[in-house]
Each structure stands twice: as structure tokens, then as C-alpha cells.
Amino acid sequence: MRLDRLLANMGIGSRRDVKKLITSGAVKVNGRTVKDAGLEVNTESDEVTCGGEPVKYRQFVYLMMNKPAGVLSCGDGAPGVKVAADLVGDDYNFYDLSPAGRLDVDSEGLLILTNDGDFIHNIISPNKKNGKVYFIRTEGELSGSDVERFREGVRVDDEFTAKSAKLEVLKSIGGVSEALVTISEGKYHQVKRMVKACGKTVTYLKRLSIGGLRLDEGLAPGAYRPLTDGELADLKR
């Protein structure tokens, strides 16, 4: 890869900016100052520094975020409405990050952000059977009959019948229920629509896990961290 492209891709600056840095003598490859922006470097074995700081090439990044309510998963937000990628700091915001499975703007919890399109496809594909677990709070008490309806597959409307899903009622009292929902699909507002088809309304939703990946409860709303090698390997399997 060209030296100027590597530096630009790693967020050091624009191609014009990094060419100025290179010609100024701020960049070294394997300990030697280089001033050729077109120098081909081996991203696996060559050691590149800029201003004395190492620059390590990473083609793909995978972040776990605890998405807060009021933030869009992706897309162009309305004025004053942030997108999840807007919460990512300078260490990763130069990557073109997209979510591997969306969350509604008023929903919270586990969101995976990455620039690996194949990975996103594998995560969201229903054929991969990556079960997603949500904690929900409802207006209206969920019952055993609702559990059975989820198990059989809820007919949401004339065009969509959800596949078999698991509903585990944790608490149901005073016209309010708390429950865990596990689905293998990811249709638009699916959990909310399934609950609504049962005559109740979701008032709070938080995604807890995708496949074997559980939300790190140490992450405050809006915080993020890279996936560990083990977490990434489990998801890719």
C-alpha cells in the first residue's frame, strides 16, 4: 500500500496533509526517514511512525457500543439528532462505520459498529440464526398465552408472520410486564410489532445480546470498545 494512502486511511489527515508531513520528514519507515509519498509499504511487516508515534494499519474494526436512546443507528439524522457513529472518537471515526443490525432511535443496548460489509451481512442474515435477546417493559400484562403465541410465531399483519420466538415473562403486575424476548430475525420494529399484535405496548427496549455476544454492562450509554479477539472469533463462527 502507498505510504500516503496508509496514513490517510488511519486518520492522520487528508492525502494532501499527509504528503506535507512526509516531505517535512515527520514520517519514518523501519526507522528511516522517508520523503516519498508513493513508497509501497507492507502493512503486515513494515513499521511506520509519524511524529514518533507508531501507525498500525487496520483494515477492519469491530466496536461494541451501548447505544443510548435518542440516537439513530445509522443514516442522516434530523437536526440535533445524532447517529451512533457520531459518538465514536478520533481513534475510530475516520472509518466508514455502519451497524450490524439496527436499533430504533428510542431503543438502547448492544450495537455492533464495523466497516466490514461481509461481517454485517453474516450477522443480520436470518440464515445464520444469530439469536438476539431483548429486555422489554410493556404497558399491559403479558401472559402464558402470549408466550405460546411467540413460540408458534406471531402473525403481525397480513404481510408478515414472525418466526417462532422465545418470550420469557420476568414480572407481570399492575398492568406492566417485564420480559426477555429472543428472535432470530430482524424485521423493522419487529419486537414492538409482535408485542402490539398481542394487545400490549412496548414502553422500553434494550438489546442485551447478538449471537453469543453479550453487552458489556460496564459500558455506559454511548460508550464503546473494540471487540476482543475471542468475541470476534465466536461471532464469525
Is the separation of the CB atoms in 215 and 208 below 8 Å? yes
Each of the 237 residues of the chain gets a pLDDT tens digit; together they read 999 999 988 889 888 999 999 999 999 999 999 999 999 999 999 999 999 999 989 899 999 999 999 999 987 656 778 899 999 988 788 889 999 988 999 999 999 999 999 999 989 887 777 899 999 999 999 999 999 999 999 999 988 999 999 999 999 999 999 999 999 988 889 999 999 999 999 999 999 999 989 999 999 999 999 999 999 999 988
Q: Pick from 118, 4, 88, 87: which is nearest to 50 by CA?
A: 4
Cell numbers describing residue 42:
507492507
Whether residue 184 is found in the same domain as residue 87 = no
Identify the pLDDT of residue 94: 83
Whether residue 190 is found in the same domain as residue 229 = no
37, 55, 73 - which closes a domain: 55
Identify the pLDDT of residue 225: 96
CATH number at residue 175: 3.30.70.1560
Identify the pLDDT of residue 127: 73
Identify the pLDDT of residue 77: 58
Looking from the CA of 155 toward its CB, the CA atoms found within 13 Å total 3
Whether residue 46 is found in the same domain as residue 66 = no
12, 33, 55 - which closes a domain: 55
Annotated active-site residue 157? The verdict is: no
CATH number at residue 78: 3.30.70.580
Identify the pLDDT of residue 15: 86
Identify the pLDDT of residue 186: 84
Number of domains in the chain: 3
Whether residue 118 is found in the same domain as residue 224 = yes
| Strands 132-139 and 166-173, bridge-based pairing | unpaired
Is the separation of the CB atoms in 60 and 90 below 8 Å? no
Cell numbers describing residue 55:
501507525
Residue with cell 414492538: 192
Identify the pLDDT of residue 130: 82
User: Which listed residue (4, 36, 104, 146) is catalytic?
Assistant: 104
**pTM as predicted:** 0.85
CATH number at residue 18: 3.10.290.10
Amino acid occupying residue 176: V
For 31, the domain range is 3-55
Identify the pLDDT of residue 78: 65
